[in-house]
Amino acid sequence: MVHQTMNTSSNKAPRASSKSSVMTFSGQVRKAAAHWIRSAPLQAIIASALLASCASPPMSSAPPLPSAAPSAGTEITLPGSRPADSGPLPPALVQGKSRWVPVRWADLPGFEDDQLSDAWNAWLKSCERPGPKFAPLCSEVRRLSIATGEQQRDWMMSRLQPYRVETPQGASEGLLTSYYEPVLKASRRPGGGFEVPLYRAPAALGSRKPWFSRQEIDTLPEARSALQGREIAWLADPIDALMLHIQGSGRLNISEADGSQRTVRVAFAGSNEQPYRSVNQWLLEQGVSKINPWPDATKAWVAQNPQRVNQLLWSNPRYIFFREEALNDFDAAFGPKGAQGVALTPGRSIAVDPGSIPYGTPVWLASRGRAANLQKLVLAQDTGSAIVGAVRADYFAGTGPEAGALAASVNQPLRLWVLWPK
């Protein structure tokens, strides 16, 4: 999912109640473990439960990675005691737009306190489409889904090396924002107040780059003709539609033509490749002093300035097209698929610049602000057009209005550490 971040302030983080995270997600972790138990051989489960002891391998500057993942029946071996957080550190690494500086595990804020089992579901998701560096570890990651937090922590220390993420110039502090999956009422047919369409991608989307702007889509016959019959559903509020475009996906509580109700997901399916412009920044330029909370403050402005609603919408030329996806009970516990191609986990997935951090990388995140105090394990599983640079991340808050309130409030300092195979 490629999304844009709605910055709710042009400088400082907005005021909000302090939270440590959006949700624990422990119920979903238990479901994932139960699903794995049903599908795994009993012998593998027993082997995983009886975690054997061995000595921690010495750290080297350029350790070779296994050529292939262990077989399904391979037993995980863990150190008999906590691996030593000492010895020589490997050299720094250059990764595209960033520089990675090796550190001790003790340098990770809150490493001993995080409930790692809550993050394991996100790691299991990454193992559905792992990169070449992490594929050899995925069989162990799967077995450790039923391990204790201490066993998971010891395994990470024995198998991974933490690196502080910096810009090429050496700056280690960046920006954390947040996004979420909105839930909106919709109708399969226009009328009754539902007049704002959501479109599938036009067949001729690739025929011109960039495609028509938001204003041109609303006004040019050529653009409107290309979208005729491509409507998925209609929303009642243009600001809700804009919010859905900014987040990149959402859920619709939809009224079908036969009067029935169902919930579906609309996921990112492409864009017009026009530049993204912040509507909130445009409002500030118009002299509007109150833009938070988003989108309520924007809707209040629109109610007072109905003749200017198109100006506001057209200030952002970027336009998103969607595809409809069915939702079952298991899918509903997760967010939409991110750019890695796996479903996002609330509170444990982040969007990054893939030129700085590869998809599927476990990352230690530390961010303190008025909206949230976060020190936790997350997985790099998505990106966004506004997520650019080395120390830059967008935190997936989850689904629904509570997640939306958190996402609108997070705009705060950030530090990141990648956890890379030894």
51 within 8 A of 76, measured Cβ to Cβ? yes
Which tens digits make up the pLDDT trace of 360-383? 999 999 999 988 999 999 999 999
Q: Domain 14-177+332-421 belongs to what topology?
A: Barwin-like endoglucanases (2.40.40)
Name 362's Cβ contacts closer than 8 Å, sequence gap at least 6: 119, 123, 126, 156, 160, 377, 378, 379, 380, 418, 419
Which tens digits make up the pLDDT trace of 309-359? 999 999 999 999 999 999 988 889 999 999 999 999 999 999 999 999 999
Domain ranges of the chain: 3-9+178-329, 14-177+332-421
pLDDT reported for residue 294: 83
Lowest-confidence segment of 56-70, 344-358, 394-408 by average pLDDT: 56-70
Q: Which of 234, 186, 269 is nearest to 3 (CA)?
A: 269
Mapped onto helix, strand or coil, the DSSP state of residue 278 is coil
C-alpha to C-alpha distance for 159 and 278, rounded to whole angstroms: 42
Lowest-confidence segment of 26-40, 56-70, 285-299, 352-366 by average pLDDT: 56-70
pLDDT band at 68 (very low <50, low <70, confident <90, very high): very low
Which tens digits make up the pLDDT trace of 163-198? 999 999 999 999 999 999 999 999 999 999 999 999
10 Å CB burial of residue 401 (0-12, 13-18, 19+) is exposed
Determine the length of the chain: 422
pLDDT reported for residue 78: 64
Q: Domain 3-9+178-329 belongs to what topology?
A: Ribosomal Protein L25; Chain P (2.40.240)
pLDDT reported for residue 349: 98
With a pLDDT cut of 90, the percent of the chain lying above it is: 74
Highest mean pLDDT range out of 43-47, 62-66, 107-111?
Answer: 107-111
pTM: 0.80
